[in-house]
Amino acid sequence: MSDSESESESEPESESETETEAEAEVRGPRSGSGSGSGSGSGSVRGRWRSPRTWLRAGGRLLRAASVWEWLLLGVLLYLTDRYFWLMDDAFIYFRYVDNLLFLGRGLVFNPGEYVEGYSSPAWILLLIPLRALGLDYWTLVRATSLLVAAGFGALLIATNRRLSPPGAPRVNAPLAFAAGHYGILSHFSSGLEAPLVQLMAAVYGLAAVLPGNHLLQALIGLSPLCRPELALPCLVFGLFELARNRRVPWALAGSALLFNGGWLLFRIYYYADLLPTTFYLKAGVDWRQGYFYFRNAIDPHQMTALAMVLLVLFVWRRPVLPGPRSARILMLACAVPVALWVVRIGGDMLYFRYLAFPICLAVIAGGGILEAVVLRVQRMRIRAVLAPAAGLFLLLYSLGCYPPQLRGHPLGIPKTRHWHLISDPMWHRKHPHLRASPKRAERDRDLRAAYAAATPEQRSGRRVIVDGWCRHAFVDFDKYFVHSLALTDALLARVEGPWGRPGHKMVEGHAQLLGKIMARNPDRRGRGLFRYVAEGRNASPWLRRNLPAIELIERKIYNRHDLRENLELALTLIRRIPG
């Protein structure tokens, strides 16, 4: 390196020191300093920060954001709102919440049946207080999507700053890529837990570049409550910290044990199970379909080629890149097991959703590399133009890519099709029963008025409907709902059957049988119902053959919230029921 080039790359050190003041409040003492790496009260005081300190430091980081990064945040928020949508499956969460808040049924899908038919305790615990404010779900989900997107962008700014060389003009490739990425933008809404999953990916990224930060590690301990498979990166992160520091990361371990252990105890007491019903439904093995799902998520943006280019640039400019040397490795190590799990189970019926965490984390791991390349340019004026130009190119490139399910660019609301059984959010976005409308708030008020006026018979759900459309379950609150795709039923989730699409088990016949049993015996719903039906003259041979397993599931569904009995039920292995 020439003398002039050396001066060019090292001249902005004072600027770097100024930027680090805000980061230092969030980070606490650097590892290796007297109070940052050792044990003792100094370390704890340095790393545990009050909410006021975090807000102040976050404000300083945002004020230190470049104009280009503010523009990217604006694009991110605009397109998040532009791509707003609700998935039909979100109405499963909505029915659970409204049953609890307005109908007095408890945290259940059908009255009197204790089945955990949702995947994300964190999401449902967030929806409950927000819904209690009286907001309709379209407004609630839209506001949440914008807040989560803003938090995601702020975390990417903070992480990219730590990954970039001191004083380099900001490209912020992760934020530029995410601000145009159709999959990431779409899944800040949907009404499902995907916004929390993507936000958690950004938390993992920042925690990787701020080793030893207790608050971030405590948040990572919460991640399995966002989705069950996030227990894998949580474990990886904890083991990595243990190996790096040769001590237990107590903030992460304590948070994981307290909150996940607390929910597990609640699950056993309330639902008599160790895992949610959705796990039994979707934890199959289909590597071939999973391969297509993975390709569908990465191929539209040519992410393999982009990763190779960034790898070459990283190796070239590694000497000037700051931050912990293991940070990017840790991010990728957390992303890989989730991606493998998703591929193993065959992915999802919807583009990108299950791979949101690993893809977001892999994108964040590419931060700072383009800044290091721009820093190679000696003239400051050229640098100042080159950095936003590189970011703009990446934004426009990402914005121009979309999955093959769409017959045109998503901004134009195009027609859709399936690609290897995988659909796109656009179908839900366009559906007249799901799309946003000025009348949604008024209709929601009417629905809550119907809740208040519901008779005891309506609240008991005596009438039965068998359907695969989740919104019907939400609107027809006075009916017992058998989901024909087994999404919310503990019995049907364990029945072996062919897959129509990923996560959609074709058990329509068994669902109709269950619907008839419930419709004909509304007063016998509870323990003993299936034996009573099986002993009848015209009982189904399938029901008689599988009665022992069905009765065990029945005991779970109609459990008495006896902790000792429920623990025994939860620990009892139930085999798959032949179809």
The whole-number pLDDT of residue 231 equals: 97
User: Cα Rg for the chain, rounded, in angstroms?
Assistant: 26
466: which strand partners?
Answer: 482
- Other CB atoms closer than 10 Å to residue 36's CB: what's the count? 17
Domain residue spans in the chain? 1-64, 457-571
The whole-number pLDDT of residue 10 equals: 41
| Dist. CA 365–CA 353, nearest whole Å | 20
- The Cβ-side half-sphere exposure at 480, using a 13 Å CA radius, reads 23
CA distances from 447 to 128, 234, 442, 480, 493 (A): 17, 40, 9, 17, 30
The tens place of each residue's pLDDT in the chain, 579 residues long, gives 444 434 344 434 333 333 444 444 444 444 333 333 333 333 333 455 666 666 666 666 666 789 999 999 999 999 999 999 999 999 999 999 999 999 999 999 999 999 999 999 999 999 999 999 999 999 999 999 999 999 999 999 999 999 999 888 999 999 999 999 999 999 999 999 999 999 999 999 999 999 889 999 999 999 999 999 999 999 999 999 999 889 999 999 999 999 999 999 999 999 999 999 999 988 789 999 999 999 999 999 999 999 999 999 999 988 888 877 799 999 999 999 999 999 999 999 999 999 999 999 999 999 999 999 999 888 888 888 899 999 999 999 999 999 999 999 999 989 999 999 999 999 999 999 998 888 889 999 999 999 999 999 999 999 999 999 999 999 999 999 999 999 999 999 999 988 888 878 889 999 999 999 999 999 999 999 999 999 998 899 999 999 999 999 999 999 999 999 999 999 998 888 997
- Other CB atoms closer than 10 Å to residue 549's CB: what's the count? 17
The whole-number pLDDT of residue 416 equals: 94
Q: What pTM value is reported for the model?
A: 0.90
